[in-house]
Amino acid sequence: MKKILILIIFIGAIYGIYQEINTFPTTSGTSTNSNDVLDLAYKNKENDLQVTGSGIVIKLLPDDNDGSRHQRFILKASGTQTVLIAHNIDLAPRINLLKKGDYVEFNGEYEWNSKGGIIHWTHHDPNGRHITGWIKHNGKVYK
């Protein structure tokens, strides 16, 4: 009975450590899962932070056609936090039916700016050196 109790406590401790590691913001190239991370990244002026989050499209912007082409839109991720999504449409499909008010999930790299930040690398890396990002809209994943 003692051995079972010790095993249960040990497993619980390992699970707790695992949860803590996977929710703390990091710049090590691993992905984190929370719009709270975006808030923290903005407050700490983080860059090169791989994040997963979601939000509501509040504004569609014209494509950026300077260099690699990017589909651009602004998401309200949480509370007052907004982020610009810069989705490379030379490497990933355009989200054709995207409109204001749509719910979008994303995985990409966060870069700080004074307006809330930019999410880019929402696509695969043809050279295989960067974590594959993505955008999910209406059940379809774009990468």
Q: Is the pLDDT of residue 72 over 70?
A: yes
Q: What is the CATH number of the domain that holds 41?
A: 2.40.50.200
Residue 136 has pLDDT above 90, yes or no: yes
Percent of the chain with pLDDT over 70: 76
Q: What's the whole-model pTM score?
A: 0.75
Q: Is the pLDDT of residue 65 over 70?
A: yes
Domain limits for position 123:
2-142
Q: Looking at the 3D structure of the chain, how many domains does it have?
A: 1
Mean pLDDT, residues 68-91 taken together: 93
Q: DSSP assignment, residue 13?
A: H
Confidence of residue 97 (pLDDT cuts 50, 70, 90): very high
How far apart, in whole angstroms, are the C-alpha atoms of residue 78 and residue 37? 10
Name the residue with tokens 């010790």: 6
